[in-house]
């Protein structure tokens, strides 16, 4: 079984992913910064089930500033779900979106390369397609919000780390 790091583990998708991975026998380290886009109580509730599992540990940490080395020690697979979400708010809080969605991703990619992670799975968004998020993965990438732009930039960073450092990357939208 794999040792998995799930960033954004207190979010809806991240918590369900952690539940599934632990149920399948994988060891999961969850990270979340509890950025106040969603109420903390809601995110704490998302963790109630998975926190009872012996093969799950949780770290409240901000990927932009935390020492990522101890969290990545011995990890096989990174599931990167952490992000600053929200289309509308991205217009007024652009610096936060830049730091959460781009800088945090870059720091995590650097740490993944240093720790020779087997696979880095980046969870992106349909917002990279633009106003009409329909079609397939060959559709043009035309984000129309700072949120979509920062998530596309994170995807491009992932591809750059794959090409330059051989880090196996999967991007899910």
- What are the catalytic residues? 147
What is the helix (H) or strand (E) element at residue 73, kind and residue range? none
Cα 153 to Cα 39, 148, 166: the distances in Å are 27, 9, 19
Q: Phi first, then psi: what are they for 16, rounded to 5°?
A: -70, -35
DSSP helix/strand/coil, 122: strand
Instruction: Give me the torsion for CA of 28, 29, 30, 33, rounded to 10°.
Output: -170
Cα 119 to Cα 4, 85, 102, 161: the distances in Å are 10, 24, 19, 12
Q: Which of 28, 43, 100, 40 is nearest to 66 (CA)?
A: 100
Q: Provide the 8-state DSSP code for 27.
A: E
């Amino acid at each position: 079984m794999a040792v998995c790091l799930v960033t954004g583990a207190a979010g809806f998708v991240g918590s369900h992913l952690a539940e599934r991975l632990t149920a399948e026998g994988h060891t999961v380290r969850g990270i979340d910064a509890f950025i106040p886009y969603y109420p903390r109580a809601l995110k704490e509730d998302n963790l109630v089930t998975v926190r009872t599992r012996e093969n799950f540990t949780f770290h409240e940490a901000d990927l932009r500033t935390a020492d990522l080395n101890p969290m990545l020690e011995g990890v096989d697979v990174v599931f990167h779900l952490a992000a600053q979400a929200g289309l509308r708010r991205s217009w007024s809080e652009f610096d936060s979106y830049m730091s959460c969605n781009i800088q945090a991703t870059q720091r995590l990619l650097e740490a993944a390369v240093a720790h020779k992670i087997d696979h880095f799975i980046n969870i992106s968004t349909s917002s990279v397609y633009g106003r009409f998020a329909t079609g397939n993965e060959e559709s043009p990438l035309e984000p129309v919000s700072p949120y979509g732009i920062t998530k596309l930039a994170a995807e491009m960073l992932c591809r750059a780390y794959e090409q330059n450092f051989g880090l196996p990357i999967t991007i899910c939208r």
